Amino acid sequence: MSGYIEQKYFEGKLVVANNRRFSICIYPPLILNYTEIEILYLLLQGKSLSSISKHRNRSVKTIWGQKKQLYEKLNIESDMTLYRDLILSGIVVIGHAILE
């Protein structure tokens, strides 16, 4: 995981997108491990399983299994409902831009 992700996680949130109009923040629950947090962060950025596998130097099958486990832990129904499920659970918050 990059230093930015690690630093932001220890502050209790990850900023996925931040522009002048809005921000998307993740508040990862403590049940997630380091790898799952990174995969969630990359999925919310719109990364594909193949690009995540290249980034993490793992096979697509390994990333698929880790994603499946992540979805089970967070009660995410499918890729189509990813944001909806995370917003309803309070893990993802969309709000005004964050000035850093």
pLDDT tens-digit map of 40-85: 989 988 999 999 999 999 999 999 999 999 999 999 999 999 999 9
Contact call for residues 37 and 14 (beta carbons, < 8 A): yes
pLDDT at 99: 53
Is 90 part of any domain?
Answer: yes
Beta bridge partners of 93: 25
Among 11-20, 37-46, 89-98, the range scoring the smallest mean pLDDT is: 11-20
Is 100 part of any domain?
Answer: no
* Domain extent at residue 31: 3-95
In the structure, what pLDDT confidence band is assigned to residue 97 with cuts at 50, 70 and 90?
low
Is 11 part of any domain?
Answer: yes
Is 14 part of any domain?
Answer: yes
Number of structural domains found in the chain: 1
Higher pLDDT, 77 or 28: 77
CB-based burial of residue 41 (10 Å sphere; 0-12 exposed, 13-18 middle, 19+ buried)?
buried
d(CA 20, CA 63): 33
- For residue 53, what is the domain's CATH number? 1.10.10.10
